[in-house]
Structures are given as C-alpha cells and as structure tokens.
Amino acid sequence: MDELFKRIARWGQGKTEPPYTVQLHLTNNCNLSCGFCPTVSLKNENEVDYSEELSREKWIDLVEEGERLGVEEWHICGGGEPLIDKELALDLMERIKSYGARGELVTNGTLIDDRTAKKIVKMNWDHVSVSIDGPDKETNDGIRSQGSFEKAVNGAENLSRYRKGDGPQPLPSLLFLTSTVFDFTLKPNLAVETVLCSENHDKVVDMVRLTSDIGFDEIRFNTLNIWNEVGEKLAMDISEVHTLKKELKKAGEVAKEVGVGMSVADNFKAEDLKENIDTAREMGRLVGLLNSLGGENG
C-alpha cells in the first residue's frame, strides 16, 4: 500500500508512473446465462464473435509487460467467466504469483473442480470471490441460472477444503464497513459476492450462514445495476428496501457470532436507501445504454 501512495504522489507531481493495479477481462463468454447480467444483455442485442478475443500469447505478453512495469495487483474477472479457459486462467495466475504480485479472482464458482481448487491453493493465490445470490437452490437459480447453486457451492467447498487450516478469521466482523480487516496468513482469502435484489433482500441472514457453512471468510453484499428488463423486475420496491435495512442489521450480528466478515455496498449504508438505490438503477441504465451504443457502432 505504501508503494501505491508513492505512485499517486509522483503522479500528482506530473511524473509518469506505471499502473499499480491491472484488471483482466479474459473473456466475455460464460457458461451461465444470468438474465440481469450486462454481458448477457449485450449478447442478446449484438452478435458476439469470441474468435476476436485476445489469444493466449497476447495475454501472456500483457502479464509479462505488467511485471516489467511493476504492477503490484492483478484482478481477474468478467466480462464473462474467467475460468471458461481454465488452462489460460491458471497459467496467468501462476505467472502473476511467480512475480510476487497480489492476485484476485472473481468467478461464478461452477467450474472449480478438485484439480482447479488444488492449483489455486497451491500457487498461494491471494483472494477468490464466488458469486452466489441465494442461500438455497430455489432462490439462487431463480436469480442466476438453473443448476448454478449446487455447482457454485461445490466449487466453493472445493476451495475451502483444499486450503490449509481453517482460514483467516475476521478481526473483527463489522457491519457497514466497506472492508473488513483479516489475517491473511492463510490463502486464498475466500469471499461470497451477493447482488441484493427483490428475490433475496429478506435472505441476507441465511446468506451469512451459508458463507460460514461452506468455510468462507466473508460475504460482500453488492448493488444491483439495471441493464435490462430482467434487472427492472429484480429491483426492490420501497417496502423491500426497508425490510432489507432491518435484515442487514440482523445479518451483521449473525456474522459476528459465526466469525464471518461482512461488507455492504455504499448504497445500502445511507439513511435514505431508496434514493441511493434509485441512483444505482439509473447509473445501470446509463452504462447499459452506452455499452449498447458502443456495440452497435463498433
């Protein structure tokens, strides 16, 4: 973190500095078809040619260039599902760790089999986030894709099973903080990522318990951005927003009891939750429109 501040200071002085963090979108392809996902929305509106995505050689060159520049953190996420091409993802991840950099992976978890979990743990990867939007099959699969709950939970349990020891414990678990302080002596740190919506707003306590049951360290509750009609239907009304606020307080207490870290998106911390959620909804619409126009013009 000191290096980040140093680079920012040098940028402020007008000096040229390399990036501290690089985010890799390995593909826009995905094995799921979650209706609210922006990639799914754009794919439905535009023909997608995956053959135009970067080659394995290009990705390797990019990571090697980042290492030469002194990139300290790498975030591997979507677009689509980064583990669609496991060999590519795992190869890049191993290269990143061999350079001594920090790595984060965001995945839907459904493709994390035994071999993949072992490799991620063995390479000493730093952080993995698995997207799960409901504490049970009915809720999660209704929001995401049919069959995704069991596969995601299985993938998550593979990771926690192969990780050494019982995992880092939050110090302490605090409600309504943007981040939680952890002892990162055991890797990877494991987090559940949950998008809050009308279908799961009253199940956040159960989501905390699920996080504990699968051996994960923390849960992050995120804002739903509206990209399409499916997103509109999943948006919370005012009564659901008030229910959510009460449930989040209960969830925070349960998180402390079970030793799970919990963080909540800024939109859900303010007193006027409805106003903030409406703002997030409008931003989702705007970004979706801009991306759609970009796809049409591209």
Domain ranges in the chain are: 18-297
Chain length of the chain: 298
Q: Which two tokens stand for residue 77?
A: 């996420």
pLDDT tens digits, 11-24: 778 877 889 999 99
Q: What is the mean pLDDT of residues 28-49?
A: 79
What architecture is the 18-297 domain classified under in CATH? Alpha-Beta Barrel (3.20)
Q: What is the mean pLDDT of residues 114-142?
A: 97
Burial of 293 (0-12, 13-18, 19+ CB in 10 A): exposed
**Pairing verdict, β 127-131 and 102-107:** parallel
Counting residues of the chain whose pLDDT is more than 70, the rounded percentage is 79
Which residues in 101-119 are b (16+ Cβ under 10 Å) and which e?
bbbbbbbbbbbbeeebbeb
pLDDT at position 10 is 76
User: What phi and psi values does residue 199 have, to the nearest 5 degrees?
Assistant: -85, -15
User: What phi and psi values does residue 41 have, to the nearest 5 degrees?
Assistant: -60, -45
| Closest to 18 in 3D by CA, of 70, 72, 74 | 70
Number of other CB atoms surrounding residue 231 within 10 Å:
22
Q: DSSP secondary structure string, 33-76?
A: --TT-HHHHHHHHS---GGGSPPHHHHHHHHHHHHHHT--EEEE
Q: Which two tokens stand for residue 65?
A: 């260039």
Interatomic CA distance for residues 188 and 128, integer angstroms: 6
Interatomic CA distance for residues 36 and 33, integer angstroms: 9
| 39-42: long-range contacts, CB 8 A cutoff, minimum separation 24 | 39/78, 39/79, 39/80, 41/227, 41/228, 41/230, 41/288, 41/292, 42/291, 42/292, 42/295
pLDDT at position 49 is 73
pLDDT tens digits, 246-259: 999 999 999 999 99
Q: Given pLDDT bands bounded at 50, 70 and 90, which one contains residue 186? A: confident
Residue predicted with more confidence, 273 or 290: 273
| Closest to 154 in 3D by CA, of 99, 211, 121, 109 | 109
pLDDT tens digits, 86-125: 999 999 999 999 999 999 999 999 999 999 999 999 999 9
Distances, alpha carbon 159 to alpha carbons 5, 61, 102, 216, 228, in Å: 33, 29, 18, 9, 33
Q: Given pLDDT bands bounded at 50, 70 and 90, which one contains residue 174? A: very low
Q: What is the mean pLDDT of residues 53-77?
A: 95
pLDDT tens digits, 205-243: 999 999 999 999 999 999 888 888 888 999 999 899 889
Interatomic CA distance for residues 109 and 130, integer angstroms: 5
CA 220 to chain centre: 9
